[in-house]
């Protein structure tokens, strides 16, 4: 029996980054000890290129010669052991983007489940291979550790049938072609804290705009997902950093038949070359576009704002109105200008922003006369993963 403090570690693996969080177990609740990130992975140069940051009161950053997720996991585990010798890891949780039809709740990963996750890899090629690389690296390095997969698709399994189905012959639904939705861990976190921000309105008609590199919106009633903009894959919905959002499906066959692109080229085009980056030819990063004076940059921003406010109206139609609008994720939490522009185009829905509150990044940013409460809520997907991980490993 050890007298060390038990803890869980959380990983959120992206294409070139690995975010992590360390949570102490207090009773049945996780308490965040530290969070950090290794960025710029996958860069083959032997120079010290990867940036390892540990966030907190005194954020520390170091440049390291790391290229793979496996090396990044080794580095994080070594750092945790060195900095926190009083902790013992009891389990690890992972963000896994696609849970397909099979997974509507978090699961403990075993060999069979690992194989099933592989089958969903092609449905989210920007994310799944990296999510799985982190799981495999941890399995290799710490095989005794229980690993839990938490799915971005799971939160949307409460959507009514007409939101989960496409207008396709049923055989395709049976084969797994359906409207899954993503960013569910972020929406679950927002749903969990919403009463603190909105009181009883939390259970009314709520639309959450998760605006980051990947971006989507979700309509909730009673804090459950009723409709969302992403679909079968995270390509659908509003335009994103490098993904186009909704596209006439006829464009895909045109790309292949008329433009002669291979399936791999189409995947690469739609996942990496479109969206804000494709439109502007400058960058997919909103901060860079806002700082850029070229008309291509402002055109891409206009497009993003237009389609986001249009999605708010569409989701309001899906739930018969809107009582609360929440902005979250990188753009939603940090760009007062984008929030203001989206709200100004949606005033006909009764949305009225308070400019001062918005510019000062307050929690509540709607004006007194607004029919809709507008909130800015920082998301915390890692906390939701920590909670689920703790719940599952303590049930064993
Ligand atoms: P992801 O988790 O999907 O990688 P984030 O939620 O971190 O993405 O969001 C990244 C986006 O947020 C980028 O487009 C970045 O430019 C944007 N962003 C971050 N801070 C600001 C800011 N102050 N103003 C405008 N955009 C910002």
* Ligand 1 centre distance from Cα of residue 81 (Å): 31
Please state, in angstroms and as integers, the Cα–Cα distance from residue 81 to each residue in 70, 74, 287, 311, 327, following that order: 17, 11, 36, 46, 37
**Alpha-carbon span 188 to 380, nearest angstrom:** 9
**Alpha-carbon span 51 to 32, nearest angstrom:** 22
Residues ≥6 apart with Cβ < 8 Å to 12: 18, 19, 20, 94, 95, 381, 382, 385
Q: Is the Cβ–Cβ distance between 94 and 73 less than 8 Å?
A: no
Superfamily in which the 5-151 domain is placed by CATH = ATPase, nucleotide binding domain (3.30.420.40)
- Per-residue pLDDT 10s for the chain (396 aa) are 567 899 999 999 887 889 999 999 988 889 999 999 998 887 666 566 889 998 877 788 988 888 888 899 999 999 999 999 999 999 999 999 999 888 999 999 999 999 999 988 888 887 899 999 999 999 999 999 999 999 999 999 999 999 999 999 999 999 889 999 999 999 999 999 999 999 999 999 999 999 999 999 999 999 999 999 999 999 999 999 999 999 999 999 999 999 999 999 999 999 999 999 999 999 999 999 999 999 999 999 999 999 999 999 999 999 999 999 999 999 999 999 999 999 999 999 999 999 999 999 999 999 999 999 999 999 999 999 999 999 999 876
Q: Is 150 left (phi over 0), alpha (psi -120 to 50) or beta?
A: beta
Q: Where in the chain are the domains?
A: 5-151, 198-376
The secondary structure of residue 118, as a DSSP letter, is: H
Say if ligand 1 is within 6 A of residue 286 CB: yes
Atom of ligand 1 nearest to the CA of 14: 4
Pocket residue to mutate for ligand 1, from 213, 377, 381, most atoms within 8 A of Cβ = 213
Q: 198-376 has which CATH code?
A: 3.30.420.40
The model's pTM is: 0.93
Residues ≥6 apart with Cβ < 8 Å to 293: none
Give φ, ψ of 219 to 5 degrees. Answer: -100, 130
Sign of CA dihedral 83, 84, 90, 91: negative
Task: Give catalytic status of residue 83 as yes or no.
Answer: no
Q: Is the Cβ–Cβ distance between 87 and 57 less than 8 Å?
A: no
Q: Torsion over CA of 216, 219, 224 and 230, rounded to 10 degrees?
A: -30
Q: Do domains 5-151 and 198-376 have the same CATH topology?
A: yes
Say if ligand 1 is within 6 A of residue 373 CB: no
* Ligand 1 centre distance from Cα of residue 330 (Å): 3
């Amino acid at each position: 029996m050890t007298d060390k403090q038990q803890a869980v570690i959380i990983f959120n693996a992206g294409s070139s980054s690995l975010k992590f969080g360390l949570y102490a177990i207090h009773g049945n609740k996780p308490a965040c000890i530290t969070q950090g990130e290794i960025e710029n992975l996958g860069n083959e140069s032997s120079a010290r290129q990867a940036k390892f940051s540990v966030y907190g009161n005194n954020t520390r950053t170091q440049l390291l010669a790391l290229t793979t997720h496996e090396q990044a996991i080794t580095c994080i585990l070594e750092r945790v052991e060195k900095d926190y010798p009083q902790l013992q890891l009891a389990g690890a949780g992972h963000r896994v983007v696609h849970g397909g039809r099979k997974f509507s709740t978090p699961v403990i990963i075993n060999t069979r489940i690992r194989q099933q996750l592989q089958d969903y890899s092609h449905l989210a090629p920007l994310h799944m291979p990296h999510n799985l690389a982190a799981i495999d690296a941890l399995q290799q390095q710490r095989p005794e550790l229980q690993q839990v997969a938490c799915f971005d698709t799971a939160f949307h399994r409460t959507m009514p049938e007409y939101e989960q189905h496409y207008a396709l012959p049923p055989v395709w639904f049976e084969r797994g072609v359906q409207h899954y939705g993503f960013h569910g861990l972020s929406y679950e976190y927002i749903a969990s804290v919403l009463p603190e921000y909105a009181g009883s309105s939390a259970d009314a008609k709520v639309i959450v705009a998760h605006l980051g590199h990947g971006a989507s919106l979700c309509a909730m009633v009673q804090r459950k997902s009723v409709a969302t903009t992403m679909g079968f894959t995270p390509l659908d919905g509003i335009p994103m950093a490098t993904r186009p959002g909704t596209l006439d499906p006829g464009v895909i066959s045109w790309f292949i038949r008329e433009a002669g692109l291979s399936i791999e080229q189409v995947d690469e085009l739609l996942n990496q070359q479109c969206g804000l980056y494709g439109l502007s030819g400058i960058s997919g990063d909103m901060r860079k576009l806002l700082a850029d004076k070229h008309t291509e940059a402002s055109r891409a921003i206009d497009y993003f704002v237009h389609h986001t406010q249009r999605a708010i109206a569409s989701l309001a139609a899906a739930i018969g109105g809107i009582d609360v609008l929440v902005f979250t994720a990188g753009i939603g939490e940090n760009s007062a200008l984008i929030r203001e522009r989206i709200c100004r185009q949606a005033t006909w829905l009764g949305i009225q922003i308070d400019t001062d509150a918005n510019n000062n990044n307050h929690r509540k940013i709607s004006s007194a006369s607004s029919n809709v409460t507008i909130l800015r809520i920082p998301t915390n997907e890692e906390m939701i993963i920590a909670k689920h991980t703790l719940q599952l490993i303590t049930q064993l």
